Amino acid sequence: MQFNLYRCIYQIFYDPISKLAKSYHPMQKLVLLRHGESVWNKENRFTGWTDVDLSEEGVLQAKRAGQSLKAHGYNFDIGFTSVLKRSIKTLHIVLEELDHLWIPVQKSWRLNERFYGALQGLNKDEIIAQYGAEQVHKWRRDPKELPPAITKDDDRYPGKDLRYKDLTERELPLTENLSQTMDRVLPFWNEFIIPAMRKNQKVIVCAHGNSLRALIQYIDHLTDEEVTTLDLPTGTPLIYELDEGLERIRHYYLE
């Protein structure tokens, strides 16, 4: 009788706690940040791999992002960014606001913006007037739609840029859709970002609208239709809360 009483007390009070403890997984946060406004964002131009600088507003956006992260108690062990200055400078400014300039930062072309081919440098409104809004929307958002390609004798061909001297001809794009962007981003995610998080390092990834869109499609398991409506504001930290399997629990913008 006494044993059954103890058993009942255990099941009422302790067993639920035990089950909760077994189901608990430590949460990890990942910060994704699109660079601040660039001068070509401001001029409404297709940018791609063109190495344009931040606008004055873009610098302020980066500072506000750093201040917001600091106010919410964020700190980082490692940062990842592209090899384009608008992304590099954004991350630098954020880390300066956090007094974190000392942490290691890894740069990779794999986090570059999507390569927009022959559209790079052209005004979006002018292209809409020439080709129509529907076609331009497909070029911008359809994961399978390829913008017009450049040729290798074009000044915009990345093979002429010293920072890409170690890339193979296959890795040097003439144009690129979102699916191809994902194909180059995910190996970097799996080889470098995932291992850092598995070591419980606090990670910030500062990149571009489309390289981050590719990552988000992968993390959130979005369909091609769903990713076409996804838009990322410049200079606003996007926080992902992940379980121990690095599956998404939830995500939100840090204002």
Catalytic residues: 35, 113
Token output for 244: 């121990």
User: What is the residue whose two structure tokens read 């040097």?
Assistant: 172
Most distant CA atoms of the chain, gap in Å = 90
Strand-strand pairing, 238-242 and 28-34: antiparallel
Residue 38 is classified by DSSP as: B
Strand partners, 78: 203
Are the C-beta atoms of 249 and 243 separated by less than 8 Å?
yes
- Enumerate the H helices of the chain as residue ranges: 2-9, 15-23, 39-42, 56-71, 85-97, 124-131, 133-141, 178-188, 194-198, 209-220, 224-227
Q: Do residues 221 and 227 touch, judged by C-beta distance below 8 A?
A: no
What is the distance between the alpha carbons of residues 203 and 62, in angstroms, rounded to a whole number?
17
Instruction: Please state whether beta strands 203-207 and 238-242 pair in parallel, antiparallel, or not at all (unpaired).
Output: unpaired
Write down the residue that tokens 């044993």 correspond to. Answer: 3
